[in-house]
Amino acid sequence: MKPVASMTGFASAARPTALGQLTIDLRSVNSRFLDLSMRIPDDWRVFEPMLREAIAARLSRGKVECRINIVRGVGAAEPTLNAAALAQLTGLAAQVEQAIPGVRPLGTADVLEWPGVVETPGSDPDALRAATAEALAEALDGMTASRRREGEALREALIAHCAQVESIAIQLKARAPDLLAAVERKLVERLEQALGETMTKATTVGREEVTDRIRQEVTLYGLKMDVEEEIKRLTTHVNEVRRVLAAGGPVGRRLDFLMQELNREANTVGSKAAAIEMTNASVELKMLIEQMREQIQNLE
């Protein structure tokens, strides 16, 4: 049985590098597709394609945020200014001042934030890539484990809801014939009373014709109010939900479709309700199905 994963999770991993302590945080919440956002230092922008590819290979759905932080410690290489980049920035600033007189001059923070102005000697790109890949792999392992733990809890909750839906369907199937028979008896009484008055006024209408008309009306009403097919489909859909959950893997979209089908049958039961018991059963079914749908929104 494959695991079922939630789209909600968090994980973190750290590695030492020449630039300082590298920390990768991964956060995810539910989303229809994989929506990946990156918050990383400029020195790590070159690794962004590698980061995106690795995350997409492990996660198929969810709004995922990847955040990279660098904390400089004792012994880390001291950053220096790149003279060429600084000269280039100075030249660009001079051109802007010439084109737009009175423009605010560059501040120290502006200069230091310009890509390439600050560089750290001794930072081997291959070593940084390796450390980043290792930290990301560890964070993804933690994220996967976190999402699977929550997914397993959601699987158990959905299976419990399936049992409740099935229980209501079984009870409704057992009670439906008696409820329908009681309604039909009341209908026969009212029709006999109404048509009986017609017979007293119109002697051309015979007793046999009246009885036949009542039988037709009751039969048509019974066919319209019969919910046996809806109950069968409810049970079939519930069994399919169980099968999908047992198979595991990415189940969110399939289960979301099944919730639509379950809700359609519950609505039909409500529209055919011939007694308050059937109306109550329809309301309970729709409440349970809505609870299941909300939980399924978090499944990958």
Q: Domain boundaries in the chain?
A: 9-78+126-149, 81-113, 151-296
pTM: 0.68
Q: What is the mean pLDDT of residues 161-188?
A: 76
Q: How far apart are CA 76 and CA 50, in angstroms?
A: 25
The percent of residues in the chain predicted with pLDDT above 90, rounded, is 42
Q: Which residues are registered as beta bridge partners of 16?
A: 21
Q: How far apart are CA 226 and CA 274, in angstroms?
A: 9
Q: Please give the pLDDT value at position 32.
A: 86
**CATH (one of 2.60.40, 3.40.50, 3.30.230, 1.20.1740) for 9-78+126-149:** 3.30.230
For residue 211, what is the enclosing H or E element?
helix 207-225
147-170 burial: b if 16+ Cβ within 10 Å, else e: bbebbeebbeebeebbebbeebbe
Q: What is the pLDDT of residues 37-90, one digit of tens each?
A: 999 987 788 899 999 999 999 998 899 999 999 887 654 566 778 788 888 888
Q: Please give the pLDDT value at position 176.
A: 67
Q: What is the pLDDT of residues 86-145, one digit of tens each?
A: 888 888 888 888 888 888 888 888 887 777 777 765 567 888 899 999 999 999 999 999
Contact 1, 293 (CB under 8 A): no
